[in-house]
C-alpha cells in the first residue's frame, strides 16, 4: 500500500525518466502524507505526473529508491517476477560454478537487495528499508 507522495523539484525528474533509481534529498520539493520509513511512496513531478513507485527512508542520503517507473502493484507477484528474471539471467550468463551473485540490487530492479550463493548456502543482504 502506498503511504505517501514524494514530489520532485521541477527539472530534476529527467534522470528518473531515464531509469535512474535513486532520489536524493535535494531533489525532493515536498512529501505528502506521512510515510513511515520503509513504506512505499509514489514519486511525482511538479505537474503531479507519476514518475515511479519506490521505498522511502527519510534518514537516507537517497530517501527514495525507485522500484518501478510503471504504475503497477508492488505485491508478492511483483517481487516473484523480479527474482525469477534475475535468476534466469544468471543461468544464461554464469555457468559451471557453485558461487555467484544471484540478485544484484538495482541492476535487477530490487534496490538494496543482494543475494549471493556459495555452494548450498545463500547470503542475503538487505541494505535499504522497505526491501
Whole-number pLDDT of residue 38:
97
Whole-number pLDDT of residue 82:
98
Q: What is the residue-level pLDDT of the chain in tens, covering all 131 positions?
A: 999 999 999 999 999 999 999 999 999 999 999 999 999 999 999 999 999 999 999 999 999 999 999 999 999 999 999 999 999 999 999 989 999 999 999 999 999 999 999 999 999 999 999 99
Q: Which CATH number fits domain 76-126: 3.20.20.70, 3.40.50.11260, 3.30.750.80, 1.20.1250.20?
A: 3.30.750.80
2-68: CATH topology is 2.30.130
DSSP 39-107: -EEEEE-TT--EEEEEEE-TTSSSSEEEEESS----SHHHHHHHHHHHHHHHHHH--S-SEEEEEEGGG
Give the pTM: 0.92
CATH 3.30.750.80 domain locations along the chain: 76-126
Amino acid at each position: 500500500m502506498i503511504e505517501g507522495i514524494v514530489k520532485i523539484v521541477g527539472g530534476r525528474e529527467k534522470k528518473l525518466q531515464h531509469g535512474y533509481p535513486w532520489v536524493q534529498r535535494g531533489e525532493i520539493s515536498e512529501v505528502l502524507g506521512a510515510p513511515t520509513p520503509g513504506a512505499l511512496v509514489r514519486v511525482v513531478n511538479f505537474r503531479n505526473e507519476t514518475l515511479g513507485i519506490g521505498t522511502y527512508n527519510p534518514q537516507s542520503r537517497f530517501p527514495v529508491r525507485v522500484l518501478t517507473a510503471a504504475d503497477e502493484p508492488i505485491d508478492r507477484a511483483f517481487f516473484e517476477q523480479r527474482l525469477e528474471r534475475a535468476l534466469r539471467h544468471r543461468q544464461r550468463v554464469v555457468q559451471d560454478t557453485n558461487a555467484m551473485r544471484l540478485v544484484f540490487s538495482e541492476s535487477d530492479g530490487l534496490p538494496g537487495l543482494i543475494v549471493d550463493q556459495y555452494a548450498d548456502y545463500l547470503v542475503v543482504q538487505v541494505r535499504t528499508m522497505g526491501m
